[in-house]
Homo-oligomer: A and B are copies of this chain.
Amino acid sequence: MSADAETPRPVTRIQREKQELILEAALDVFSQHGFRGSTIDQIAEAAGMSKPNLLYYFKSKEDIHAPLLARILDTWLDPLRDLDADGDPLPEIQSYIRRKLEMSRDFPRESRLFANEMLRGAPGFHDVLHTELKNLVDEKAAVIRGWMAEGKIAKCDPYHLIFSIWATTQHYADFDIQVRAVLGRERSGEGRFEDAARFLDQLFLHGLSPAKKA
């Protein structure tokens, strides 16, 4: 018997399903209230079980939160990983933007959980940001810089370019309520994501300068 007093490693299919159910409920709660603002009771109720029962599957609040974060960061960076150095620069960036926007549309809770963690100062997350994340961004920034050197794209700071893509796309998940309020009832349908996609295409491709017919 190992000395590890941990959550029963998922043997049964049922166990895995229950754990998934709990993580799903926890995502709901954590993404709204943050880690400290969420309670185990809340999560348990959202998952339709009692608190001790939930604690049978995850032995602490942290143990529910941590795997959520880990999983999310990973899928969150997938679109950036797929940025292809051998592709056409502008279409590559364009499709990166589109994929990030789709993630904000399809996984807003994940985006908000991530944002909550950043606002807290990302405790117990620092290392990942400075290694995994930084390495990936460094790599892709180099790719982008390569495109600039070839004259295929306007010269600019690739890091801030990536930041601006993150910011503009995630905004539609994290500030959803504000966006809906400002757009009003009529324009708050799912169509707002298509409008956003159109706008971001134009912004990143041409900016605001009036079209020159030179």
For chain A, the count of residues having a C-beta within 8 Å of the partner chain is: 69
Stretch in A2-10, A46-54, A61-69, A174-182 touching the partner: A174-182
Q: Which residues of B contact A210 (CB under 8 A)?
A: 151-154
Dominant SS among interface residues on chain A: helix
Query: How many monomers of this chain does the complex have?
Result: 2
Interface residues of A in 156-214 (CB under 8 A from B): 156-157, 159-164, 166-168, 170-172, 174-175, 177-179, 181-184, 187, 195-196, 198-200, 202-212, 214
Is the beta-carbon distance between B181 and A129 smaller than 8 angstroms? yes
Partner of A199, one of B122, B133, B157, B175: B157
Is the beta-carbon distance between B214 and A214 smaller than 8 angstroms? yes
Is the beta-carbon distance between A166 and B171 smaller than 8 angstroms? yes
Q: Which residues of B contact A118 (CB under 8 A)?
A: 174-175, 177-178
Is the beta-carbon distance between A177 and B122 smaller than 8 angstroms? yes
A137: CB under 8 A from chain B?
yes
Q: Which residues of B contact A208 (CB under 8 A)?
A: 90, 93, 153-154, 156, 161, 204-205
Q: Which residues of B contact A32 (CB under 8 A)?
A: 119-121
Q: Which residues of B contact A35 (CB under 8 A)?
A: 37
A16: CB under 8 A from chain B?
no
State whether A182 and B129 are in contact (beta carbons under 8 Å apart), knowing that A118-B174, A199-B157, A210-B154 are contacts in the complex: yes
What are 21 A-B residue pairs whose CB atoms fall within 8 Å in the complex? A34-B34, A35-B37, A36-B37, A36-B38, A115-B174, A118-B178, A129-B177, A130-B181, A134-B181, A137-B182, A153-B208, A160-B195, A163-B175, A164-B168, A164-B171, A167-B170, A203-B203, A205-B207, A205-B208, A207-B207, A207-B209
